[in-house]
Amino acid sequence: MPIPGPLEFTYISANSLSSPYFSAGFGLMGVGAGLAIFRRGGVVLAGLARRRLLVSLEIPSKDRSYAWFLEWMSVQARTPKSRGISLRSHQLSVETNYTQHDNGSSDVQFSLVPGPGTHWIKYKGTWMQVVRERDSKMLDMTSGTPWETVTLTALSRDRALFPLLLSEARDIATRRQEGKVVIYTAWGAEWKQFGTPRLKRDVNSVVLEKGISERIEKDLISFLNRAKWYSERGIPYRRGYLLYGPPGSGKTSFIQALAGKLSYNICVLNLSQRGLMDDKLTHLLMNAPERSIILLEDVDAAFNKRVQSSSDGYQSSVTFSGLLNALDGVASSEERIIFMTTNHIERLDPALIRPGRVDLQEFIGDATPEQARRLFLRFYGESSMATASTPAEVKEAVGASEEETSSVPSEMRGIPALADELAEIVAARTSTRSVSMASLQGHFIRQSAEDAVRSMDELFTQREESPNDSP
């Protein structure tokens, strides 16, 4: 047997090379290698083309423009091909806005917005790809909603369209709020819009005792115009107001009307909210939306009746010292306006309402005769046929003879005369029993001007039987 050498070579004969099976194997290997190289080259070329020719814009759900863009997309879905904008989407999501009213009725509005997936829009003659992605494994800790992103992709030469599109989306979102007041509520450690924006209310529609509305408004406008003055003297730029008085006197209504007049929004903060702690309270006050009034309602009840329940435990963990530090401590925010309301100022700790935390206090009480008269005139007005108050004016207004003047109904003698009569009734009865502005408003809504005056005694009788008005 021959001994193998250190090197051995395998020789392929010419017959083997000419074998059809061998040639087919080499052909398949060559085709596979060519396809792999072609595929790899295609991926590289596609990535290079994407980097060179395309540009993408990512909008995370945490960003404010995310909600604006989704609303813009929903508008395009409702109005196809509006203003040259085309939207192609077959994957939709529903957003339901549910509002429960005090009288038991409710309003439900459904908005269809593009859901997770790929969509195409044509904006200003340019097609863009919109990809909405939802990561169910990542949650927003403040709201508990899944983390989402929207990615817009267009040609690199069209990147200038992104700012235009976002600006248009912002304008559409803010246009819904023009002439309205947006109400925010605390959701965890963040502020979320509550319901739909409210129509602005005329300050004069909230009838307060003479001078109160003007005094608060003048003080607030003066504060807003003195930011530089505060800065130059190193004084914290913040202002606190306390409105106190019985329920139904118009405290919250006035704050809402005042915010509308100044084009401010309202952030309603309930100190008894479940899960609210000192650190969250400080965070909320420091991160309130711009041009907003922070409203703390019924602040006297925040630290009363803190009894642990076997089922729910403590609803809120805010301490009194935590509230004081959030209002006027080292970590307290600047450029802030706070309004507090209470029905019982005697229950408030002096440390809470000292200057620096509460800079202006105003008592808003039950209806005075003058307030009742002004509210009556706002409800019923002065009709063209009912402005007369003397017999001669009544005769001219209704075309009656002097003998017939005495039989003219009191409504014909003029709304001002009825308003004066109403004021006299209120003045005579309020010495023993007051009536709230909320009760008067409800009384006027249900009946005519003359009936409202004639049945005022019934209103006071109801107050005697149930002396506590609901706010």
Instruction: Give the type of residue at 151.
Output: T
Query: Does residue 32 fall inside a structural domain?
Result: no
Q: What is the dihedral of CA 191, 193, 198, 200, to 10 degrees?
A: 40
DSSP per-residue letters across 406-425 = GGS-GGGG-HHHHHHHHHHH
Q: Are residues 210 and 330 in the same domain?
A: yes
Query: Does residue 378 fall inside a structural domain?
Result: yes
Q: Helices (H), strands (E): how many in the chain? A: 15, 16
Measured CA to CA in angstroms, residue 435 lies from 372, 381, 418, 419 at distances of: 10, 22, 18, 16
Per-chain mean pLDDT for the chain:
77
Domain count, the chain: 3
Lowest mean per-residue pLDDT among 207-211, 253-257, 264-268, 287-291: 287-291
Query: Does residue 45 fall inside a structural domain?
Result: no
Query: Does residue 112 fall inside a structural domain?
Result: yes
322: domain CATH number is 3.40.50.300
How many Cβ atoms from other residues are within 10 Å of residue 160's Cβ? 9
- pLDDT tens digits for range 110-122: 766 777 888 888 8
Edge-to-edge strand ranges of the sheet holding 238-244: 190-193, 183-187, 265-268, 292-296, 336-342, 238-244, 360-363
Q: Are residues 86 and 142 in the same domain?
A: yes
φ and ψ of 98, to 5 deg: -115, 125
DSSP per-residue letters across 428-452 = HHTTT----HHHHHHHHHTS-HHHH
- 190-228 burial: b if 16+ Cβ within 10 Å, else e: bbeebeebbebbebeebbbbeebbeebbeebeebeeeee
* Domain termination residue (choose one: 363, 380, 404): 363
Q: Are residues 270 and 394 in the same domain?
A: no
Alpha helices in 157-303 (DSSP H): 161-175, 212-224, 227-232, 251-261, 278-286
Q: Give pLDDT, residue 196.
A: 77
Query: Does residue 214 fall inside a structural domain?
Result: yes
Q: Are residues 205 and 350 in the same domain?
A: yes
Asked if 193 and 184 touch (Cβ cutoff 8 Å), the reply is yes
- pLDDT tens digits for range 45-103: 666 666 667 888 898 888 888 888 888 887 776 665 555 566 666 667 776 766 555 44
**Mean pLDDT within 154-165:** 86
* Domain termination residue (choose one: 107, 141, 176): 176
Query: Does residue 19 fall inside a structural domain?
Result: no
Could you say which DSSP state residue 234 is in?
T
Q: Are residues 276 and 319 in the same domain?
A: yes
How far is the C-alpha of 351 from the C-alpha of 346, rounded, in Å?
A: 12
Could you say which DSSP state residue 9 is in?
-
Q: Are residues 235 and 164 in the same domain?
A: no
Range of the domain at 246: 198-305+313-363
How far is the C-alpha of 73 from the C-alpha of 82, rounded, in Å?
A: 12
Pairing of β 126-139 and β 146-155: antiparallel
Query: Does residue 273 fall inside a structural domain?
Result: yes
To which H or E segment does residue 296 belong?
strand 292-296
* Domain termination residue (choose one: 346, 363, 380): 363
For residue 372, give both structure tokens. Answer: 């009742």
Please, what is the Cα angle at 198 between 194 and 200, to 5 degrees?
A: 145
Q: Are residues 227 and 319 in the same domain?
A: yes
Residues 6+ positions from 377 with CB-CB distance below 8 Å = 415, 416, 419
Q: Are residues 235 and 342 in the same domain?
A: yes
153 beta partners: 56, 129
Q: Are residues 293 and 411 in the same domain?
A: no
Q: Are residues 215 and 359 in the same domain?
A: yes
Q: Are residues 384 and 301 in the same domain?
A: no
- pLDDT tens digits for range 276-308: 888 888 889 888 888 899 999 988 887 765 444
* Coil vs helix vs strand at 354: coil
Q: Are residues 335 and 402 in the same domain?
A: no
Q: Residue 142 class from Cβ within 10 Å (0-12 exposed, 13-18 middle, 19+ buried)?
A: middle
- pLDDT tens digits for range 391-428: 444 444 434 444 444 444 444 457 888 888 888 888 88
Query: Does residue 8 fall inside a structural domain?
Result: no
